[in-house]
């Protein structure tokens, strides 16, 4: 276990390097072939603000995701993947490190990851893979540690880079890189977040959504209209724009993966798509994200796609967590973290790839809301800590003040009937687990407290994007 006492950053770097050296010596474990890892290369895409239930492969009837649907038909689809936060930077830092926000200390957008924490780039980079990250907002620049190449460039006067431009840069990198060397590429795209910007819709995807006369996707819309009194025209417009941005991003992911297949053997490349969090779209009276931890906020798509002889198609219904992403990908790339002595919160999901109903005995999924700042308190956020735990069947939400919330997700997936006052041993068990987990996490800082100093340009971006 890496201790962060004393001189935390330096000490943890030294220990991490020696541990990672050991990893290289480990014998081949599940996920490796006898003559090497299951995959040489990784392309990981994170789509900002992407609800799983707005993708065809997760049952959405509108044509938002033809390419991801193809990947889902061939690859492994995790039906119930849960994010650690409903806020961008903390959630991404968890994907990259297998630590929860209290541990990696990236609690709000703009904060930086401690270079002493060996995340995805450090782990795979130390194993000889060339690493690169291309993100679409400047405020994720703080996740640079460990990446050999990192690009968070946004044009002057803009607050984000559109997915086609970010993918263009990633493709240039793929084409120019040293051939033959293994690589791990992370690409972050942001466009669905910007569905609130009515004037910049990606044509022709937007037209296509408007022309989609079927509109079966409006089931949720009608539900919200009846249950929560949202004006139908407002929601309809927001959902059309959101779906159009998803379709645009879907096409860009196709371009990226096709370019990766040109640059390196597609059979030796693992392709992964997930999201940092979802979006309210009116559900639980929230249009955006960040303020609460309901399923529309914390359920993310998670798709693994690779050569089908090594990764058979399957839909995994066992709940999994974003902390499980790093150990799973590392193991598929021949770097099993389970024996590295590195502290991680997740487990490798490889047994689920072999047997989707395997019981890994993993802990419930833990999610934590970002801490509210003054602006958020002014617009009505409750001061204090909000946490959630879920195990696939039940979910407990600890609000800053009672009443807390308890849902039976099997009978009430939309979380409309709070059962907090009902007698339930499941409720008590989940509450006790959540309290103990949070207690242990907040005593387990693996980085120094984040600096309040944020780059002035990033601050400007965060203001323009409505974060502060
Ligand atoms: Zn985000």
For residues 389 and 395, is the Cβ–Cβ distance under 8 A? yes
Burial (Cβ within 10 Å: 0-12, 13-18, ≥19) of residue 11: middle
Q: How far apart are the first and last CA of the chain?
A: 36
Going from the Cα of 26 to the center of ligand 1, the distance in angstroms, rounded, reads: 36
Which pLDDT tens digit goes with each residue over 274-303?
999 999 988 888 888 999 999 999 999 999
Task: Using the mean position of ligand 1's atoms as its centre, give its distance from the Cα of residue 38 in Å.
Answer: 30
The per-residue pLDDT for 178 is 86
pLDDT at position 211 is: 81
Between β-strands 269-275 and 41-47, what pairing exists: parallel, antiparallel or unpaired? parallel
pTM of the model: 0.90
**Burial code of 195-221, b = ≥16 C-beta within 10 A, e = fewer?**
beeeeebbeebbebbeebeeeebbebb
Peptide bond preceding 183: is omega within 30 degrees of 0, i.e. cis?
no
Q: State in Å: Cα 63 to ligand 1 middle.
A: 23
Identify the band that residue 15 occupies on the pLDDT scale cut at 50, 70 and 90. Answer: very low
**So what's the architecture of 8-362 in CATH?**
3-Layer(aba) Sandwich (3.40)
Instruction: Give me the pLDDT at residue 275, please.
Output: 98
Instruction: Provide the residue ranges of all domains of the chain, joining segments of one domain with +.
Output: 8-362
Average pLDDT over residues 166-186: 96
* Dist. CA 89 → ligand 1 center (Å): 7
What pLDDT digit, counting tens, does each position of 76-114 carry? 999 999 999 999 999 999 999 999 999 999 999 999 999
How far is the centre of ligand 1, averaged over its atoms, from the C-alpha of 280 (Å)?
Answer: 12
Place of tokens 């290289």: 24
Distance 92 CA to ligand 1 centre (A): 8
Q: Which tokens is 13 given?
A: 């770097």
Supply the pLDDT for residue 35: 59
Cis status, amide bond into 204, omega within 30 of 0: yes
CA of 11 to the centre of ligand 1 (A): 31
**Cα 45 to ligand 1 centre (Å):** 13
Ligand 1 centroid to 174 CA: how many Å?
25
Q: 90 CA to middle of ligand 1, Å?
A: 9
pLDDT recorded at residue 61:
85
Around ion ligand 1, which residues have CB less than 5 A away?
Answer: 48, 88, 276
For residue 220, is pLDDT > 70? Answer: no
Kindly state the average pLDDT of the residues 123-134. 96
């Amino acid at each position: 276990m890496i201790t962060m006492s004393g001189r935390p950053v330096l000490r943890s770097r030294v220990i991490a390097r020696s541990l990672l050296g050991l990893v290289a010596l480990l014998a081949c474990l599940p996920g490796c072939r006898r003559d090497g890892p299951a995959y040489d290369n990784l392309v990981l895409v994170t789509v900002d603000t992407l609800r799983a239930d707005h993708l065809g492969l997760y049952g959405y009837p509108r044509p938002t995701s033809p390419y991801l649907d193809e990947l889902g038909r061939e690859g492994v689809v995790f039906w119930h993947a849960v994010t650690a936060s409903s806020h961008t930077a903390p959630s991404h830092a968890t994907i990259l490190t297998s630590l929860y926000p209290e541990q990696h200390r990236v609690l709000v957008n703009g904060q930086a990851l401690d270079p002493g924490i060996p995340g995805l780039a450090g782990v795979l980079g130390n194993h000889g893979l060339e690493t690169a990250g291309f993100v679409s907002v400047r405020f994720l620049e703080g996740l640079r540690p460990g990446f050999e190449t990192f690009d968070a460039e946004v044009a002057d006067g803009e607050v984000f880079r559109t997915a086609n431009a970010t993918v263009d840069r990633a493709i240039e990198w793929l084409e120019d890189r040293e051939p033959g060397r293994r690589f791990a590429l992370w690409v972050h795209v942001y466009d669905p977040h910007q569905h609130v910007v009515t004037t910049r819709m990606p044509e022709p995807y937007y037209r296509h959504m408007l022309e989609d006369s079927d509109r079966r996707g409006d089931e949720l819309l009608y539900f919200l209209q009846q249950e929560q009194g949202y004006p139908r025209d407002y929601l309809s417009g927001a959902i059309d724009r959101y779906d159009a941005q998803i379709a645009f991003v879907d096409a860009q992911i196709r371009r990226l993966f096709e370019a990766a297949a040109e640059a390196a053997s597609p059979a030796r490349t693992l392709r992964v798509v997930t999201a940092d969090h979802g979006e309210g779209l009116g559900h639980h009276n929230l249009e955006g994200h960040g303020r609460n931890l309901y399923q529309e906020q914390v359920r993310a798509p998670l798709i693994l796609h690779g050569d089908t002889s090594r990764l058979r198609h399957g839909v995994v219904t066992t709940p999994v967590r974003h902390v499980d992403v790093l150990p799973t990908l590392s193991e598929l790339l021949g770097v099993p973290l389970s024996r590295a002595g590195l502290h991680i919160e997740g487990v490798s999901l490889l047994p689920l790839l072999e047997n989707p109903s395997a019981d890994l005995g993993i802990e419930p999924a833990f999610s934590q809301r970002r801490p509210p700042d003054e602006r958020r308190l002014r617009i009505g956020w409750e001061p204090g800590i909000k946490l959630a735990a879920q195990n696939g069947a039940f979910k407990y939400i600890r609000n800053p003040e009672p009443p807390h919330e308890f849902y039976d997700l099997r009978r009430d997936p939309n979380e409309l009937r709070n059962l907090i006052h009902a007698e339930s041993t499941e409720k008590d068990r989940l509450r006790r687990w959540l309290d103990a987990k949070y207690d242990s996490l907040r005593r387990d800082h693996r980085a120094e407290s984040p600096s309040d100093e944020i780059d002035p340009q990033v601050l400007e971006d965060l203001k323009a994007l409505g974060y502060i």
